[in-house]
Amino acid sequence: MKEMIIDENKKKEEMNEKILTDLCECYALLGEDDIFDEVLSIIVPCLLKVASKKDETEEAQKEVEMSLLALGNIGLWEMKRELYLNEIKEIKEIIKYHQEHQNLTRLAYQSAWQFLIHQLFQDKSLEEVIVNELHFSKEAARELEDLSKSVGRNRKEDGKGENEAKEVLAFERWFFLINLYFYSCKLWNEELIGLISSIVQVFQASRDNYPDARCRCLYSLRRAVEKRKVKIDDLLKSGAVGLYLEEMKQSTLDDKNMSDCLYFFLSISERLKEKEDDEKEEAKRKSIKRKMFEWKEEEGYEDVMTSFHAILPDLADKSKFLPLSKYSSDYLWSL
């Protein structure tokens, strides 16, 4: 297929753009691990040319959606900086145009973001663009809220049907993207508080009916607290901290969700222990620590942690990610 793409591109004037586009989409969606710059330099501009169409006919929208889906799938391939600078500019324009005109399908819009955020792994200068220019947190929060409403509406209208299944799949794709964002982007702005609050709201709405969505919320909020720029005070205000405590009180909590809860509180505990050099920041840290201490006593958090003391070693051994502590005292904080 690589040779077919290269050969078709060499035809220049005689090149069949439809065939080349189909080949590029197929190759990108295969998700091959190894790819050469020569092929990337053909695939990415070809797919972006299709993705940039402004035609809003159903056929054109399908073409745009497929090209962006393929682009999102190749995001982790390492491209030379000089190769993708123009491509990043084009994908920015596609996202901006959608924000103004709402011309993309939900899948296409998510895929455009996926392609862009994947590039953060090799170019941290994109953080400013993603956070403060394109406002990812604000857009992701809006998408989650819209999806929550549409899932509820579809359930009332026709029960668990095809429409609801599509919305749940869209949830999963957005949570994948949000987790990627929390992992790879370190910048912070006020809009991040809104995104965290939206995740909390989705968790509360899905607690009884959508266990998979509930699990994804727990994992995403755990990722948020691991993001060093997310303020612990914001986690308190958004309701994320209280949500985790309520979850830990559940008698039917499985090992995966319990591990996410423990990671969440372990990260908070570790961050509250970190003294600040700046006097104002240190005073703020102590104030938040006092708030957390008082909240811990009011909500019975210490008793909850004590009740899990016996199973902590087993959970820690099962951990597949960062090491979990085997000692309950590591998840607590004292004045």
Inside any domain, residue 238: no
Exposure b/e, 39-65, CB count within 10 A at least 16 = b: bbbbbbebbbebbeeeeeeeeebebbb
246 has pLDDT over 90:
no
For the segment 114-136, the average pLDDT, to the nearest whole number, is 90
Statement to judge: residues 150 and 101 lie in one domain: no
**pLDDT tens digits, 152-162:** 555 555 555 56
For the chain, the straight-line distance linking the first and the last C-alpha, in angstroms and rounded, comes to: 63
**Position 127 confidence tier, pLDDT thresholds 50, 70, 90:** very high
Statement to judge: residues 252 and 292 lie in one domain: yes
Distance CA 202, CA 223 (A): 16
Q: Which residue has the higher pLDDT, 288 or 32?
A: 288
Statement to judge: residues 312 and 257 lie in one domain: yes
The whole-number pLDDT of residue 20 equals 95
Domain count across the chain: 3
Q: How far is CA 197 from CA 34, 67, 112, 192, 282, in A?
A: 39, 32, 24, 9, 26
Contact of 44 with 74, CB cutoff 8 Å: yes
Averaged pLDDT score across all residues of the chain: 85
Domain that includes residue 176, residue range: 124-230
Distance CA 281, CA 204 (A): 33
**pLDDT tens digits, 294-313:** 888 888 888 888 888 888 88
Distance CA 290, CA 219 (A): 26
32 has pLDDT over 70:
no
The lowest-confidence range among 54-58, 113-117, 168-172, 188-192 is 168-172
**Position 209 confidence tier, pLDDT thresholds 50, 70, 90:** confident
Statement to judge: residues 210 and 254 lie in one domain: no
Inside any domain, residue 240: no
Domain end call among 70, 99, 123: 123
pTM of this structure: 0.87
Inside any domain, residue 117: yes
Statement to judge: residues 99 and 209 lie in one domain: no
The whole-number pLDDT of residue 237 equals 85
Taking alpha carbons only, the member of 159, 244, 146 closest to residue 198 is: 146
The whole-number pLDDT of residue 161 equals 57
